[in-house]
């Protein structure tokens, strides 16, 4: 029998709060580690003990392999204060063993627990499918402990998938290998029957102890830094996750939406005497020009302005694109979508988010198909992703969606074209919003369709953070301090009740595809994991709102908690390329700690926030993460520039062809499993939560940051769109990675810019910024 090597490696970190990353203070305070702190790993009778200053933090046991016994163990120091523990077995023949794992017993008494996924009962585990930025983290005061599996090795052997587990009441953690089942969308349980082939089996992990003495508690900071530095950054430098320019993918998007699939995607009609238009909410593979069968309508023919599916957001990207290339027809289309947003009927400041038509059923060749009625039959309504089990239907108005649309109106007015109608509409909503604020500072979730009274649930959630950002923008546009005062009161409420508890609850957490737990855990932690069911959207809204609050107040308190929240959000970002994810993965995001998506479309919504945090903190990892997130939005696009993904699409839909270039599924691996044959690829494109959203983010970021961003104050530079940037003395070398001559924009830290023609490479010396203009 041939000898094959199986490796299972674990990184373990013992850390206190890190208030500094890349030399930049995250919270405006000084962060220190005691000079006499000493971490040790010492042998015990049954395993090893980790101590800090001779005080026990954790014990871990030596696992046995059936018929082989205990492993050989070695301990060695590695970079930046980490130590590596390795356990190895030589396996002479195939072994059947349901589980091979290390159990960690905590000596500390944590007041905080974190894992990337829920394992709510004994027998449930965290399967490797959800290892986007995997770690197990606990914290007692400022002392933190984290276990991070070695992503160089996870998933190398399909027959021996990895898992994590966390039992807070027992104060125990696990990492190892076992087979899993999916009893519910999407949670995992252990399954029997794992076979380990002959060869070397290795378990190893890295340990570090860090004790911090001041600052905002942030158990994620050193973990995100380690994960990105070890895996994410090198992959980005190597050219992942996509190879073509952003302009190439954007052109595919608009060619697909308005030409090859345009008959289905683009909708244009008269509404109350006003010409309006927008891409419809969702199209599916049956609407391809190449589909060999009869087409059908998925869901309703509809257009949305909601926090997922925002036609106004997508239209702003189309506007930038059309303006840049001088395409008057596309510019007209973008403005028609703005008109549709303004056409939503407002009553007492409240307005709907969705316009749709009913469906009818038609019979063709003995088969029944769903087809939409004309726009003459359209009705206004709201998102159906709502707490229906609490009596809140799509007739109810969602405060979150209204604040998002109003915020986008203000941004259109400020950045694209001045239109006082947008300001007036947003102000009307802002005035109504102030009347809805509760005594504690929160804004309600849903409003009754007739009385506009708040609903019975979701009235103290981080959805409030979206309204914070909107009101701060409205205060800036109008100069009225009452909007600012209400926003900061709301921000303080979220900081007091939501952020410390990690109660990242929003509409998607329970009322989308994963309803697990809504009967028991609404506003309640899962006992075994000591965690809430959490969604990443509300983390993003809160990190964005905190940054805006800092910018208008100068309070370092907001910036410190903002960066903490951004680090927590970063733990949902994909930092590596797993062998079981059969499309590129770097930079994408998952959705929540109870679902299976990779490369979810929210990644492009999140991208610029990371760049914004770089602007104010100087942490280059933030910039890199933002660029990776932006590019990941085009991973799932069917086009010749994505050969791996194109091959996967054609395995599933062999009739796909050039007319389908631009088709983009909103995520990958949603059901919790993938396969080389194409499981996990999907059947539809949502323009406003897929290719249109990604194109919008690309056009916006290129507008704001250019193809190259140079920060002269910090002596740092970043290539954003297929430009490699190298430092040469006081000059920067720009290398064209597209192979095609082009004109690029260079944007500097003060907002100044220049254009250069880039053929192969060019050496530039940035203009010196006068000392009196430097603000950092």
DSSP states along 284-353: EGGGSTT-SS-----S-SEEEBSSSSBHHHHHHHHHHHHHHHT-HHHHHHHHHHHHHHHHS--BTTB--S
Specify whether the CB–CB gap between 649 and 655 falls below 8 A: no
Percent of the chain residues past pLDDT 70, beyond the cut: 94
What number is the average pLDDT over the span 356-362? 97
Distance, in Å, from the CA atom of 752 to the CA atom of 772, rounded to the nearest integer, reads 16
Higher pLDDT, 25 or 184: 184
pLDDT at residue 159 tops 80: yes
Classify burial at 368, counting beta carbons within 10 Å of its beta carbon; exposed 0-12, middle 13-18, buried 19 or more.
exposed
pLDDT tens sequence across 653-665: 999 999 999 999 9
The pLDDT of residue 5 = 36
pLDDT at residue 243 tops 50: yes
pLDDT at residue 30 tops 60: no
DSSP assigned state of 33: B
Of 111-120, 197-206, 291-300, 528-537, the range with the lowest mean pLDDT is: 197-206
Percent of the chain residues past pLDDT 90, beyond the cut: 85
pLDDT at residue 4 tops 50: no
The pLDDT of residue 215 = 79
Q: Please count the other Cβ atoms lying within 10 Å of the Cβ belonging to residue 749.
A: 19
The pLDDT of residue 77 = 86
Classify burial at 760, counting beta carbons within 10 Å of its beta carbon; exposed 0-12, middle 13-18, buried 19 or more.
exposed
Among 534, 492, 500, 497, which residue's Cα sits nearest to residue 517?
534
pLDDT tens sequence across 539-562: 999 999 999 999 999 999 999 999
Residue 278: helix, strand or coil by DSSP? strand
The pLDDT of residue 449 = 98
Distance, in Å, from the CA atom of 707 to the CA atom of 720, rounded to the nearest integer, reads 5
Local confidence band at 35 (pLDDT 50, 70, 90 cut-offs): low
Per the DSSP assignment, residues forming a β-bridge with 350 are 347
Sequence-distant (≥ 6) Cβ neighbours of residue 292 within 8 angstroms: 655
Specify whether the CB–CB gap between 603 and 629 falls below 8 A: yes
Q: At what angle do helices 464-478 and 481-497 cross, to 10 degrees?
A: 160
The pLDDT of residue 773 = 61
Local confidence band at 776 (pLDDT 50, 70, 90 cut-offs): very low
Sequence-distant (≥ 6) Cβ neighbours of residue 310 within 8 angstroms: 304, 404, 405, 408, 688, 693
Per the DSSP assignment, residues forming a β-bridge with 191 are 179
Among 561, 563, 568, which residue's Cα sits nearest to residue 223?
568
Higher pLDDT, 146 or 466: 466
pLDDT at residue 617 tops 50: yes
DSSP assigned state of 160: S
Local confidence band at 39 (pLDDT 50, 70, 90 cut-offs): confident
Give the CA-trace dihedral at 316, 320, 326, 329, to 10 degrees: -10
The pLDDT of residue 213 = 61
The rounded mean pLDDT for the chain is: 93
pLDDT at residue 264 tops 60: yes
The pLDDT of residue 165 = 98
pLDDT at residue 167 tops 70: yes
Distance, in Å, from the CA atom of 752 to the CA atom of 462, rounded to the nearest integer, reads 36
Count of residues making up the chain: 776
Distance, in Å, from the CA atom of 392 to the CA atom of 182, rounded to the nearest integer, reads 30
Per the DSSP assignment, residues forming a β-bridge with 728 are 731
What number is the average pLDDT over the span 260-285? 98
Q: What DSSP string describes 353-383? A: SEEE--EEEEEETTEEEEEEPPGGG-EEE--
φ, ψ of residue 177 to 5 degrees: the values are -125, 140
The pLDDT of residue 331 = 98
pLDDT tens sequence across 408-433: 999 999 999 999 999 999 999 999 99
What number is the average pLDDT over the span 328-349? 98
Strand ranges inside 365-465, DSSP E: 367-372, 379-381, 397-398, 446-447
Local confidence band at 596 (pLDDT 50, 70, 90 cut-offs): very high
Matching residue, tokens 């010409």: 275
pLDDT tens sequence across 188-214: 999 999 999 999 888 888 878 778 666
Distance, in Å, from the CA atom of 69 to the CA atom of 67, rounded to the nearest integer, reads 6
| pTM, to two decimals | 0.95
Q: What is the CA radius of gyration of the chain?
A: 26
């Amino acid at each position: 029998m041939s000898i094959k090597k199986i490796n299972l490696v674990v990184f373990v970190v013992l850390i206190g709060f890190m208030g500094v990353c890349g030399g930049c203070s995250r919270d405006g305070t000084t962060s220190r580690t005691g000079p006499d702190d000493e971490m040790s790993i010492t042998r015990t009778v049954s395993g090893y003990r980790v101590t800090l200053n001779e005080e026990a933090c954790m014990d871990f046991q030596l696992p046995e392999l059936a018929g082989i016994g205990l492993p050989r163990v070695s301990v060695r120091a590695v970079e930046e204060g980490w130590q590596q523990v390795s356990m190895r077995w030589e396996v002479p023949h195939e072994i059947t063993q349901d589980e091979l794992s290390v159990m960690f017993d905590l000596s500390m008494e944590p007041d905080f627990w974190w894992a990337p996924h829920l394992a709510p009962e004994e027998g449930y585990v965290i399967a490797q499918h959800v290892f986007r930025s995997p770690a197990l983290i606990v914290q007692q005061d400022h002392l933190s402990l984290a276990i991070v599996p070695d992503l160089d090795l996870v998933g190398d052997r399909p027959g021996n998938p990895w898992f994590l587990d966390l039992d807070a009441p027992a104060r125990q953690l696990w990492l190892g290998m076992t087979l899993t089942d999916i009893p519910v969308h999407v949670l995992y349980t252990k399954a029997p029957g794992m076979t380990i082939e002959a060869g070397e089996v290795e378990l190893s992990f890295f340990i570090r102890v860090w004790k911090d003495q001041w600052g905002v508690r942030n158990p994620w900071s050193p973990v995100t830094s380690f994960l990105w530095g070890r895996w994410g950054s090198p992959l980005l430098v190597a050219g992942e996750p996509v190879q073509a320019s952003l302009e190439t993918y954007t052109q595919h998007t608009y060619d697909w939406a308005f030409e090859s699939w345009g008959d289905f995607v683009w909708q244009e009609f008269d509404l109350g005497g006003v010409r309006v238009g927008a891409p419809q909410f969702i199209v599916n593979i049956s609407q391809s020009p190449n589909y060999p069968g009869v087409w059908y309508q998925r869901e309703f023919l509809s257009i949305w302005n909601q926090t997922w599916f925002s036609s106004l957001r997508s239209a702003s990207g189309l506007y930038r694109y059309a303006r840049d290339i001088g395409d008057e027809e596309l510019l007209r289309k973008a403005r028609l979508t703005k008109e549709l947003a303004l056409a939503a009927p407002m009553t007492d400041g409240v307005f709907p988010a969705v316009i749709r038509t009913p469906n009818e059923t038609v019979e063709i060749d003995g088969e029944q198909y769903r087809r939409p009625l004309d726009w003459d039959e359209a009705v206004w309504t709201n998102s159906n992703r709502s707490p229906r089990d609490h009596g809140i239907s799509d007739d109810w108005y969602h405060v979150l969606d209204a604040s998002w649309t109003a915020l986008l109106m203000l941004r259109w007015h400020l950045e694209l074209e001045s239109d006082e109608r947008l300001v007036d509409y947003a102000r009307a909503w802002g005035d109504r919003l102030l009347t809805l604020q509760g005594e504690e500072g929160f804004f309600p979730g849903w409003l009754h369709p007739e009385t506009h009274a708040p609903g019975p649930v979701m009235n103290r959630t981080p959805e409030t953070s979206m309204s914070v950002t909107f009101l701060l923008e409205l205060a800036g546009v109008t100069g009225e301090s009452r909007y600012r005062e209400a926003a900061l009161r709301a921000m303080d409420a979220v900081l007091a009740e939501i952020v410390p508890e990690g109660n990242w609850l929003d509409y998607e957490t329970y009322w989308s595809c994963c309803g697990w737990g809504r009967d028991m855990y609404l506003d309640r932690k899962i006992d075994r994991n000591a965690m809430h069911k959490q969604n990443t959207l509300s983390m993003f809204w809160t990190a964005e709102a905190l940054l805006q609050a800092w910018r208008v107040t100068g309070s370092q308190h907001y910036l410190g908690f903002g960066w903490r929240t951004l680090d927590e959000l970063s733990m949902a970002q994909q930092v590596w390329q797993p062998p079981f994810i059969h499309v590129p993965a770097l930079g994408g995001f998952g959705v929540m700690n109870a679902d299976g998506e990779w490369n979810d479309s929210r990644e492009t919504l999140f991208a610029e926030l990371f760049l914004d945090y770089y602007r104010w903190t100087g942490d280059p990892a933030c910039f890199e993460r933002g660029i990776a997130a932006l590019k990941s939005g085009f991973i799932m696009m069917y086009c010749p520039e994505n050969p791996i993904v194109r091959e996967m699409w054609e395995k599933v839909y062999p009739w796909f062809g050039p007319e389908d270039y631009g088709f983009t599924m909103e995520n990958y691996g949603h059901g919790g499993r993938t396969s080389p044959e194409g499981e996990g690829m999907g059947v539809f494109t949502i323009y406003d939560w897929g290719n249109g959203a990604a194109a919008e983010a690309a056009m916006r970021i290129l507008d704001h940051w250019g193809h190259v961003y140079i920060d002269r104050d910090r002596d740092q530079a970043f290539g954003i769109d297929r430009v490699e940037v190298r430092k040469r003395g006081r000059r920067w070398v720009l290398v064209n990675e597209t192979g095609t001559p082009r004109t690029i924009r260079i944007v500097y830290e003060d907002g100044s810019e220049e254009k250069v023609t880039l053929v192969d490479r060019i050496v530039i010396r940035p203009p010196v910024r006068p000392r009196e203009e430097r603000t950092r």
